[in-house]
Every structure is written in C-alpha cells, then in structure tokens.
Amino acid sequence: MGNYERYAMKPLLTFLMTILTITVFGQVEQKKNPSDFLPNGYVVFEKVTGDLNKDGIDDCILIIKGTDKSKIVKDENHGESDRNRRGIIILFNKKDHYELALKNYDCFSSENEDGGVYFAPELSIEINKGNLYANYGHGRYGYWKYTFRFQNSDFELIGYDQSDNHGPVVNSEISINFLSRKKLERLNTNESAEGGDEVFKETWKNINVNRLIKLSEIKDFDELDMKIY
C-alpha cells in the first residue's frame, strides 16, 4: 500500500473507531418493559410512576428487593424476618421502550430491619414536579426526606428535610438546600406545647458543599450523615 492509500484510510479508520466506541461504550440500555430490567436474584418490591425528566411522559421507578434465603433470619420475638436489602432502578419512558437512567441495587435497608427498642422507619418513594423523593417515616418520632433531581446524567441530592417529633409535638426541624448552600434550623421554644401550638426559633446557616451527592453512588442511605452540613 502506498503513502496515498495509507493517508486516505486514516479518516475512514477514525470514523469506524468513533462509531464502534459509541456503539459499545455509549449506548443506553433499552428494553421493552420495566420488568425486563430486573436483575437475577431480585423481585419488584414497589413500582412508582411519574415524570422525572419533564418531557410530559410518566417514567418508572422500580424498588427492588433481594431474594437471598440466607438473609432470612429467625427472631424469638418476631419470628422469621426477611433482611434482604432493597434497591432502585429508574427508567425513562420513551413511549415504545424504556431507557435505563439509574440503577443502585442495594442502597436501602430491608423493610424488616431491626429497629431495636423502636420500630424500623418506613421508606416511601414519591415523584412530584420532576423531583424524586425518598421519604423515611418514623411515626410519632418524625421523619426525614431526601430530594433528588435528574441533572448531570444522574439523580443528584438537592434537598434534605428532617422533623424531630415527640408524639404530636414538633421539637425541631431542619431543611437543607444543597443548590443555594443554605440550611434552616427551627427549634420549638414552647416547652408546654401540645401539638400545633409550637413556637419556633429560626436560624439560617451557610453550608459548604464541595459536590452534590449522586444517587447512583449511595451505598447505604442509613450511612448518610447530614449532620456534617
């Protein structure tokens, strides 16, 4: 092959390598039905629908749960408890198929987790106005909530809210906005409050945020420490 032929082949080889790279490394996983994305050893625990990328089409969230029989433990007080962890799969609805937006197979603890002297908090997933909410309800003790938004090719944590209750009385509340880098603390100063008559002292703080937490990178929600902000 002469020099001319070698030079003529270079653009073609570059083009072919680019196509190969896009095909092998850049292709988004696509399947017909949400259940087709379920990995081996897992079942669908809950299905939630709603628009997550603001295209007017309801997307799909699958909360999945492991089926490892070794994770089923026996307890003298509660009998058998399934301690298999739960995870999340987020799928964008493209009308004739679904595209994988995010997967994290084990980031949530079991719904049967041992809460010690308290019952374990209850997890619920919600979609509202394009945001994904992971809510943990703890009955009379309050709740905490994580707010995620799809941006930068992931679901990033943009907000956190927490309420510390004693029965009907709200002792304190915390609200963190990771986009504005601000934190609001509300402390009830009415020691004789019975619920609904709390008097709150509000304190605003600036917080340091080096990078937003990504949902795909969270190994265990129970290990997230919001006290550092």
Q: Which amino acid is at 181?
A: R
**Integer Cα distance of 160 and 15 in angstroms:** 46
Q: Residue 32 pLDDT more than 70?
A: yes
Tens digits of per-residue pLDDT, 112-163? Answer: 887 665 678 899 999 999 999 999 998 899 999 999 999 999 999 999 999 9
**Integer Cα distance of 162 and 95 in angstroms:** 37
Which residue has tokens 């004789």? 192
Measure Cα distances from 166 to 115, 146, 170, 200 in Å: 17, 21, 6, 15
Give the confidence band of 110 by pLDDT, cuts at 50, 70, 90.
Answer: very high
Q: Residue 77 pLDDT more than 90?
A: no
Lowest mean pLDDT among 17-31, 37-51, 74-88, 191-205: 17-31
Q: Residue 124: count other Cβ atoms within 10 Å of its Cβ.
A: 14
